[in-house]
A and B are shown apart, each in its own frame.
Chain A
Amino acid sequence: MSNSNPTTIESPWARRALIGVGFLFLALFLFLPLVMVFAGALAKGWSVFFETLVDPDALAAIRLTLLVAAISVPINAVFGVAASWAIAKFDFRGKSLLISLIDLPFSVSPVVSGLIFVLLFGAQGWLGPWLTEHGMRIIFAVPGIVLATVFVTFPFVARELIPLMAEQGRDDEEAARSLGANGWQIFWHVTLPNIRWGLLYGVLLCNARAMGEFGAVSVVSGHIRGLTNTMPLHVEILYNEYDFVGAFAVASLLASLALVTLGVKTVLEWRFGIHRAGAAH
């Protein structure tokens, strides 16, 4: 980056102007909202902030959010690895179609993401009567929240790994194959070490989104306090109770989780110098 060739570098003032504009843009659109959240959370001091977080309903929401993320993220990680192996290591027709289908949850409105599970599993839905008969509950319970979260975060890991694995090609794997390794051995000893940081990056983003999802989960949750409220829903409830400090306190906890996630990612990148191309969508 420290190429000082005068023909390919802008004048110092142009550089400063560009950095300045970039900073201003980020300040307006990224940092101010974040500062807003923390300022709101601490508007009445630290004690009120902590009181909100140790409220039993808040704790239940935190537990549920972590549980949902703990189930849906591994599911999507396994899927993402399998999908990118099939897509990146083999050639077949309809690949663009398949990738587009995997991308689809990115573009489906969160409202619709929730609605489709109501249409399937709701009491008036396709499988609703069968479920009621067998005494099983999916929506307005944890499984529905997990399903909606899995749907919304479906593409993250796969989208992260496909370009990375496509770029790495299959030479390493084919070499291992010619030396007599079986499929699992190839995956375990050759592919996984190559993609592990990309995989981690995808998992972290997937996890962040899983914990933060609001729209889809709101439709299938039923909003039962202390039972089916996730953290983002709890934020909404507090906000609607005019408890703005509480709402921002829980929100700031979520934002902190996001920042920790990003911090972990940055440390790993710095420590292991991940090839950034893997991060492309």
Chain B
Amino acid sequence: MRAPFPAMMAALMIGTVGLSGCSGGGNGKGSVELLNVSYDPTRELYKDVNAAFAKDYQAKTGKTVSFRMSHGGSGKQSRSVIDGLSADVVTLALAYDIDAIAERAKLLPANWQSRLPDNSAPYTSTIVFLVHKGNPKGIRDWADLVKPGVQVITPSPKTSGGARWNFLAAWAYGKKAGGSDAAAQKYVADLYAHVPVLDSGARGATTTFVERGLGDVLIAWENEALLSEKELGAGKFDIVVPSISILAEPPVAVVDANAKAHGTEQVATEYLKFLYTPQGQEIAARNFYRPRDLAVLAKHAATFPKLDMVTIQDFGGWAAAQKRFFADGGVFDAIYGGQAKRR
């Protein structure tokens, strides 16, 4: 039974590929196809970016470029690339997930983050609160989230990249307010005691808050909050900007090994560089991501208020933060282990 096994698989595969008629990474003479593997909230952003870049690229080189998009939870997408999803570029929620691709599958060098400006994060975001219209519970800052009777919606940092930014922003507040790691942990534990549901992803949490009407405040990416406020439930929600938050840097990278195999290295690099151009920055800002370009940021100053922000470097980088807070037996587990014992 050993011998025919790969042969059977091959037969099955050839048959099905033949029937389905197409396979990814097309590399014809005048046209290229890029596969961008991204995380959940970037759908609208890359729809616009792809259209603009395709036009720009055609004008400059006369070649057409088309795009395939894959969206999902950041960690799941990273795993898919590690397991063989042949992404030309990855645009994920946190550097940790691209580090994992570099470390486990060796598809790009370990120093990938230094290849593009600004830690390879062409746009940023931060963590803010979304509350019901008129802010009935009077939420002004992090301290208000742990008042009696307030229900907080945030996804599980074990399964959601966005939720890890939420957790770290809360930690930053706890540390600033209480002055120590112990105080920070106590604050965060209090906060999670006010969380009735831990959705598995950021979009699930938004749906829980907006559609199911659960909770008084949603801790969310600023871009998601703006999108919800402006488009999902226009006139139903307000955004509250806390006193301190974290600079969320969703990074982008060319997956060298895949791009080389598809012959798309150059166009993939051009694509990511396009994100840093004024035009790319403008598109990011219009999709509620904070642009790095100061001129573009100034133009959208009304949308993006200034606030005090820590960065991931204040936590010693993603590898350290992941190990300390979110890995099995880390701080997050301790919080829930503690809760279980109290019950």
User: Quick check: do A and B touch in the complex, using CB within 8 A?
Assistant: yes
Docked-complex contact B69 and A224, CB < 8 angstroms: yes
Determine the chain B residues whose CB is within 8 A of the CB of A239 once the complex forms: 207
- Interface presence of B61 (CB below 8 A): no
- Interface presence of B3 (CB below 8 A): no
Bound Cα distance from A241 to B19, whole angstroms: 30
Docked-complex contact A136 and B82, CB < 8 angstroms: no
Determine the chain A residues whose CB is within 8 A of the CB of B71 once the complex forms: 223, 225, 237, 240
Bound Cα distance from A146 to B8, whole angstroms: 14
Docked-complex contact B10 and A223, CB < 8 angstroms: no
Q: Mark A235-247, 1 if CB is under 8 A from B, else 0.
A: 0010111101000
Q: Mark B60-72, 1 if CB is under 8 A from A, else 0.
A: 0000000011111
- Interface presence of B266 (CB below 8 A): no
- Interface presence of B40 (CB below 8 A): yes
- Interface presence of A123 (CB below 8 A): yes
Docked-complex contact A224 and B105, CB < 8 angstroms: no
Q: List the one stretch of B83-91, B173-181, B184-192, B271-279 in contact with chain A.
A: B83-91
Q: Give chain B nearest CB distance to A141 CB in angstroms.
A: 7
Known contacts being A224-B68, A242-B207, is A138 close to B23, with CB within 8 Å?
Answer: no
Residue on B nearest A229 in the bound complex, by CB: B70
Q: Give chain A nearest CB distance to B15 CB in angstroms.
A: 8
Residue on B nearest A242 in the bound complex, by CB: B232
- Interface presence of A105 (CB below 8 A): no
Q: Give chain B nearest CB distance to A218 CB in angstroms.
A: 9
Q: List the one stretch of A26-34, A124-132, A199-207, A258-266 in contact with chain B.
A: A124-132
- Interface presence of B31 (CB below 8 A): no
- Interface presence of B55 (CB below 8 A): no
Docked-complex contact A136 and B13, CB < 8 angstroms: yes
Determine the chain B residues whose CB is within 8 A of the CB of A123 once the complex forms: 82-84, 105
- Interface presence of A89 (CB below 8 A): no
Docked-complex contact A137 and B23, CB < 8 angstroms: yes
Docked-complex contact A124 and B16, CB < 8 angstroms: no
Bound Cα distance from A147 to B10, whole angstroms: 12
Determine the chain A residues whose CB is within 8 A of the CB of B35 once the complex forms: 224
- Interface presence of A87 (CB below 8 A): no
- Interface presence of B299 (CB below 8 A): no
Known contacts being A123-B105, A225-B69, is A143 close to B9, with CB within 8 Å?
Answer: yes
- Interface presence of A222 (CB below 8 A): yes
Within 189-237 of B, Cβ neighbours of A (below 8 Å) are at: 201, 203-204, 206-207, 210-211, 231-232
**Cβ-defined partner of A130 (8 Å) among B6, B23, B104, B206:** B6
Known contacts being A137-B23, A143-B12, A242-B207, is A222 close to B69, with CB within 8 Å?
Answer: no
- Interface presence of B43 (CB below 8 A): yes
- Interface presence of B20 (CB below 8 A): yes
Q: Give chain B nearest CB distance to A60 CB in angstroms.
A: 10
Known contacts being A124-B104, A139-B84, is A223 close to B20, with CB within 8 Å?
Answer: no
Bound Cα distance from A125 to B104, whole angstroms: 12
- Interface presence of B22 (CB below 8 A): yes
- Interface presence of B80 (CB below 8 A): yes
- Interface presence of B52 (CB below 8 A): no
- Interface presence of A88 (CB below 8 A): no
Known contacts being A118-B83, A132-B84, is A240 close to B68, with CB within 8 Å?
Answer: no
- Interface presence of B138 (CB below 8 A): no
Bound Cα distance from A223 to B72, whole angstroms: 8
Q: Give chain B nearest CB distance to A186 CB in angstroms.
A: 28
**Cβ-defined partner of B85 (8 Å) among A124, A132, A134, A140:** A140
Docked-complex contact A222 and B85, CB < 8 angstroms: yes
Docked-complex contact A139 and B83, CB < 8 angstroms: yes
Docked-complex contact B12 and A137, CB < 8 angstroms: no
Q: Give chain B nearest CB distance to A223 CB in angstroms.
A: 5
Known contacts being A138-B13, A146-B12, A242-B232, is A125 close to B20, with CB within 8 Å?
Answer: no
- Interface presence of A61 (CB below 8 A): no
- Interface presence of A64 (CB below 8 A): yes
Determine the chain B residues whose CB is within 8 A of the CB of A121 once the complex forms: 84
- Interface presence of B319 (CB below 8 A): no
Q: Give chain A nearest CB distance to B49 CB in angstroms.
A: 15
- Interface presence of A99 (CB below 8 A): no
Q: Give chain B nearest CB distance to A72 CB in angstroms.
A: 10
Docked-complex contact A136 and B84, CB < 8 angstroms: no
Determine the chain B residues whose CB is within 8 A of the CB of A127 once the complex forms: 6, 9
- Interface presence of A253 (CB below 8 A): no
Residue on B nearest A143 in the bound complex, by CB: B13
Known contacts being A222-B70, A222-B80, is A142 close to B17, with CB within 8 Å?
Answer: yes
Bound Cα distance from A139 to B16, whole angstroms: 12
Determine the chain B residues whose CB is within 8 A of the CB of A122 once the complex forms: 82-84
Q: List 18 A-B contacts (CB under 8 A).
A: A67-B16, A67-B20, A71-B19, A118-B83, A123-B83, A123-B105, A124-B83, A134-B10, A139-B83, A140-B84, A140-B86, A141-B24, A142-B16, A142-B19, A143-B9, A147-B12, A224-B35, A242-B203
**A128-B84, A139-B84, A225-B70 provided; 11 other pairs, C-beta below 8 A?**
A64-B20, A122-B83, A123-B84, A123-B105, A137-B86, A140-B83, A143-B12, A223-B71, A227-B22, A239-B207, A242-B203
6 closest A-B pairs by beta carbon, nearest first, are: A122-B83, A123-B84, A143-B13, A222-B85, A140-B85, A240-B203
